[in-house]
Amino acid sequence: MIRKNPSGHLPIVHESAFVDPTAILCGKVIVEENVFIGPYAVIRADEVDEKGEMEPIVIKAGSNIQDGVVIHCKAGGGVTIGRATSIAHRSIVHGPCTVGDNVFIGFNSVLFNCTVGDGSVVRHNSVVEGCHVPPGFYIPSTTNVHSDADLANIQRVTGDATSFSESVVMANLSLVQGYNRIRNEF
């Protein structure tokens, strides 16, 4: 479902993107080309700052927002999801937040008020808030990162993790093409 927010903003979705009919996109949301948005995802840009303004939620080209993901912003803050990035099932990305290009965010992870650099991997059930994760970091499953100082013990991304992240992006690009091909059969 595509709908306006109380400020009157309507999502802008590129014609090559696939948004599952059960997903909800509300407000100042921009979805670029070849993006996959899975079942029951909620992407909602509707809160304003003290001046009545808000930044958009931007999902860049070739990314995938999987089943049950929630993306939202507080007090007018924005969220940017970079190119060829995967946000896995039931994750929450709460802005202000920037996720770089070629990033993998694992199942049930929570990102809040943070930046995740290009090529990073945040594995399943992790929490990242209030910090800046540099490019190429690997945050293991169930890790909680609440400050830049917590990153001192975090390792760099391995070739296996990068390969896995790329395979998820490719699988979801295939889904975009497949679902768009059968779009009128729903």
Give catalytic residue positions: 47
Q: Is 21 exposed, middle or buried (0-12, 13-18, 19+ CB in 10 A)?
A: exposed
- Other Cβ atoms closer than 10 A to 1: 11
**DSSP 8-state code for residue 130:** S
- 82, 61 Cβ separation under 8 angstroms: no
| CA–CA distance, 116 with 81 (Å, rounded to integer) | 10
Query: Collapsing DSSP states into helix, strand and coil, what is residue 161?
Result: helix
Please give the structure tokens belonging to residue 136: 């190429």
